[in-house]
Structure 1
Amino acid sequence: MSQHALSDDQVSQELKKMTAFIKQEAMEKAKEIQIKADEEFAIEKSKLVRQETQTIDTTYEKKFKQAQMSQQITRSTVANKTRLKVLSARQELLDGIFEQAQKKLGDGAKDKKKYEVILKNLMLEGFYALNEHKLQIRARKADYDVVKKAIEMATKEYTEKVHKKIEASIDESDPLPDGLSGGISIVGGGGKIEINNTFEERLVLLQENALPSIRLTLFGKNENRKFHE
């Protein structure tokens, strides 16, 4: 037996030392692994948080834009509906005004003296426009007596102002319909030119020409319009 052989106690001590060393090494290694794992976890966690935050931000921004767009569409729809309702109400009012005027057209022919003056002025308008020596007047049969007096008044005034004689007579072969409210037509150009000065036609002209002024009076200036009559 060698003199250098270890005793059982020595062997046991050496084994304990080796075991303690290996255990210490293992614990240090495990700690290193744990630290590295924690670092990697923190990095991955931060990465995932950033990704999720970006995703949430992107989703929120997208939904916010969609909400804004939806709100704009809703506002535009409501505004258009309101505008159409206002325009419809205004048009109804305007239509009502002209309907009432239509119903009262016949009142202009009730007072014969006033009606004579009206007819005279309507004739003069045609006389000046046509500027012819001989003209014919179309009228309702019921108005013939009044029209004859108006012709006398109109031809006299025309001659005095223009210093030219003019002849005008009733065209009894082609009277105006009895259903009209009043007024006349002046025919010239050998029967080819006719100026319609019936009450109904004058109302139509008034509706076309005076409508912008009526709108302005009733509703005020439209700020949304770029051009105005």
Structure 2
Amino acid sequence: MSQSHALSDDQVAGELRKMTAFIRQEALEKAREIQLKADEEFAIEKSKLVRQETATIDVLYEKKFKQAAMSQQITRSTLANRTRIRVLSSRQELLDDLFQEARGKISGIAAKDAKKYQTVLKGLVLEGLYALNEANIDIRARKKDKDAVKKAIGEAEKEFKKTVGKDVTVTLDEDESLPDENAGGVVIIGGQGKIEINNTFEERLRLLEIDALPAVRETLFGKNVNRRFYD
């Protein structure tokens, strides 16, 4: 009975082959499943890493871009300031030369045209008389202008009397004179020595420099120069 159910060697070998094939098939399928799972996880991790690296690169690029933009802005601003300073310096130098040339010209007025100088002196004295409107006035001038100033004083006194209707006595202070290197003009003193009007050429030119500078700049450099370069 037992012998009828016994398997032959060939049958045993066949069963073993079937079992081996089944196990191998399951192993292959499991290996494929593992491979697919590994590939999927790799793809997910790779995508994650790519996104992270891309974000890092974007942040770095944005930072570099901002740094470059800031550097460019600083460079542009520095160059603009340097240009502005050069322009201002050149313009100021031109203006200084202009007024220095004017100083040189006014210094030679007395020597070149005595009659014209005396007329100017009269105007300067008369201006002081009108401003002070006092009975007694002292005048200071250069020693070398003594004669011209005295003539100018006489003419100014007459004109003041004619215009204002009252006498004025103007005295040339010969004890205290203006320096000879002074370009010319007079200093008018009133208020018992307490009020002084400086009508020397240097002082008038200095005031002109201050008052006329905006107009001179506009004439030389254009209408908008004060707003663009001197604000």
Give the structure-1-normalised TM-score: 0.95
Q: Which amino acid in structure 2 is aligned with residue 19 of structure 1?
A: T
- Counterparts of 1:25-36 in structure 2, within 5 Å, are 25-36=26-37
SS of the counterpart of 1:225? helix
SS of the counterpart of 2:35? helix
Q: 1:104, CA displacement in angstroms?
A: 1.5
Question: Between the two proteins, what is the percent identity of the paired residues?
Answer: 65
Q: Which amino acid in structure 1 is aligned with residue 150 of structure 2?
A: K
Q: 1:212, CA displacement in angstroms?
A: 1.1
SS of the counterpart of 1:86? helix
Gapped regions of structure 1 (runs ≥ 5): none
2-side partners of 1:100 and 1:223: how far apart?
23
The match for 2:200 is 198
Gapped regions of structure 2 (runs ≥ 5): none
The match for 1:151 is 153
2-side partners of 1:224 and 1:19: how far apart?
101
Contact 2:189–2:196 (8 Å) recurs in 1: yes
Aligned length: 229
- Counterparts of 1:51-70 in structure 2, within 5 Å, are 51-70=52-71
SS of the counterpart of 2:108? helix
1-side partners of 2:107 and 2:225: how far apart?
38
Q: 1:4, CA displacement in angstroms?
A: 1.2
1-side partners of 2:59 and 2:225: how far apart?
40
1:96-123 Cα deviation digits (max 9, x unpaired): 1111111112222121211111011101
The match for 2:182 is 180
SS of the counterpart of 2:227? coil
1-side partners of 2:102 and 2:64: how far apart?
56
SS of the counterpart of 1:91? helix
Q: Which amino acid in structure 1 is aligned with residue 196 of structure 2?
A: E
Q: Which amino acid in structure 1 is aligned with residue 92 of structure 2?
A: Q
Q: Which amino acid in structure 1 is aligned with residue 120 of structure 2?
A: I
What is the RMSD computed on CA atoms of the aligned residues? Answer: 1.8
The match for 2:4 is 3
The match for 2:98 is 97
Q: 1:223, CA displacement in angstroms?
A: 5.9
The match for 1:132 is 134
Establish whether residue 23 from structure 1 lines up as the match of residue 31 from structure 2: no
1-side partners of 2:95 and 2:150: how far apart?
36
2-side partners of 1:175 and 1:224: how far apart?
40
2-side partners of 1:38 and 1:165: how far apart?
119
Give the structure-2-normalised TM-score: 0.94
Match of 2:223 among 218, 221, 224: 221
